[in-house]
Amino acid sequence: MKKSLLEIRFYFINISLSAIVVIAFAAVQYQIIQGVEFSWHNYIIPFIVGSIFGFMITRIQTLVKKYKAEKDLVLEKNKQIHSYLGTIVHDLRSPVAAIFSITEILLDDKHKLDSEQIGYMGLVNESASSILENISLILDNSKLEKGIGPDLIENGNPYYTINSTIDKHLVLAIKKSISIQRLIDKNLPEVQYDKDILDKVISNLISNAIKYSPQNTQIKVYTELFSDRINLVVQDEGLGMNEEDLAHLFQEFKKLSARPTAGEGSSGLGLSVAMKLIKQIGGEIYAESAGKNQGSTFRIALKLSQCR
């Protein structure tokens, strides 16, 4: 009831002020242009126009205020959901990591298992690996939503970080009969970067290149040097992307029209997280494709240290 009375008062004040302003303006016009003496009949229409105008303005202000309140509520709920989700996912990481480690150990001793057991262990291992990848993405996204920045930004040559990240994906590529060709200059100029962020972004691009490439294809990873930046390029011979894919590529939970060639999982979150992460160190990601089945090319642009 109290809120309704305040709202009525707000409307009354605004409508009255608007009507007074319009009437005053009309009075000035009558006196200056027409020299008409004061008469209430001349101000009925200005009063109506001013009242309507005041009502419309007040209505707009009320709706804007209501929208802002609802927006703030949604943002707060969204933060709570991200925090809750982050907590749950964080608790899941340890048991899933344990499952992954156990299956790795068992697969290393294949002579103790029969072919059927090896097949089951392989499936469990791949599933655990995929879940761990998604957990990592969700936790990274949760940190980004909370505004948590990089742990350590440094100036240096990213050569070793790039190569160690590529090495981690060689086994996965070999399983699909995909070769990774690297042309990385060992004497790259210094850039400002965070090793963990760069590793995660490159991992996402190479992992996607493997997922969306058929067997017996090649992935090229090379660098392009410019006066103000280094481009790290990941180029594949995979399924490519259409115009709609390219337009929405870095949106959260946006999946591509193409599907992974060996039934691998895809969260639809990886590229959006990669884009947010690389921006934290002042970098950019660009994507291009000539179309379906024409492969894809991703470029990570890192500014040179002396250009910052």
* Judgement on whether residues 209 and 132 belong to the same structural domain of the protein: no
The CB density around residue 64, as the number of other CB atoms within 10 Å, is: 10
Q: Which runs of consecutive H residues, i.e. helices, occur in 109-194?
A: 115-145, 159-167, 170-175
pLDDT of residue 31: 59
Report how far residue 302's alpha carbon sits from residue 193's, in angstroms, rounded to the nearest whole number.
8
**Mean pLDDT, rounded, for 116-121:** 85
78-82, 194-198, 220-224, range with the lowest pLDDT: 78-82
At residue 151, does pLDDT exceed 80? no
Per-residue pLDDT band for 163 (boundaries 50, 70, 90) equals very high
* Judgement on whether residues 139 and 174 belong to the same structural domain of the protein: no
* Judgement on whether residues 77 and 169 belong to the same structural domain of the protein: no
Domain count within the chain: 2
* Judgement on whether residues 139 and 249 belong to the same structural domain of the protein: no
pLDDT of residue 210: 94
* Judgement on whether residues 115 and 167 belong to the same structural domain of the protein: no
For the segment 169-208, what is each residue's pLDDT rounded down to a tens digit?
998 899 899 999 999 989 999 998 999 999 999 999 999 9
Alpha carbons within 13 A on the beta-carbon side of 280: 26
Q: Percent of the chain beyond pLDDT 90?
A: 36
In residues, how long is the chain?
308
The DSSP call for residue 193 is: E
For the segment 237-284, what is each residue's pLDDT rounded down to a tens digit?
999 999 988 988 888 877 778 888 877 777 778 899 999 999 999 999
Residues near 35 by beta carbon (within 8 Å), at least 6 away in sequence? none
pLDDT of residue 48: 75
CATH of the domain at 279: 3.30.565.10
Report how far residue 106's alpha carbon sits from residue 120's, in angstroms, rounded to the nearest whole number.
11
* Judgement on whether residues 264 and 138 belong to the same structural domain of the protein: no
Which structural domain, as residue segments, surrounds residue 182?
154-307
* Judgement on whether residues 125 and 53 belong to the same structural domain of the protein: yes
pTM over 0.85: no
For the segment 14-42, what is each residue's pLDDT rounded down to a tens digit?
777 777 776 677 666 665 555 555 555 66
pLDDT of residue 206: 95
- Two tokens at 28? 């000035």
156, 193 Cβ separation under 8 angstroms: yes
* Judgement on whether residues 160 and 87 belong to the same structural domain of the protein: no
Per-residue pLDDT band for 209 (boundaries 50, 70, 90) equals very high
Per-residue pLDDT band for 43 (boundaries 50, 70, 90) equals low
Which one of 148, 165, 197 terminates a domain?
148
Which one of 123, 148, 173 terminates a domain?
148
Cα diameter, the chain: 110
* Judgement on whether residues 144 and 268 belong to the same structural domain of the protein: no
Positive/negative CA dihedral, 99, 102, 107, 113: negative
Report how far residue 249's alpha carbon sits from residue 170's, in angstroms, rounded to the nearest whole number.
25
pLDDT of residue 223: 95
Residues near 130 by beta carbon (within 8 Å), at least 6 away in sequence? 264, 265
The separation between CA 58 and the C-alpha centre of its own chain, rounded to angstroms, equals: 37
The helices-and-strands tally (H runs, E runs) of the chain is 8, 7
* Judgement on whether residues 116 and 186 belong to the same structural domain of the protein: no
Which one of 103, 120, 148 terminates a domain?
148
Please indicate whether residue 54 or residue 129 has the higher confidence score (pLDDT): 129
Residues near 78 by beta carbon (within 8 Å), at least 6 away in sequence? 145
* Judgement on whether residues 126 and 165 belong to the same structural domain of the protein: no
* Judgement on whether residues 167 and 262 belong to the same structural domain of the protein: yes
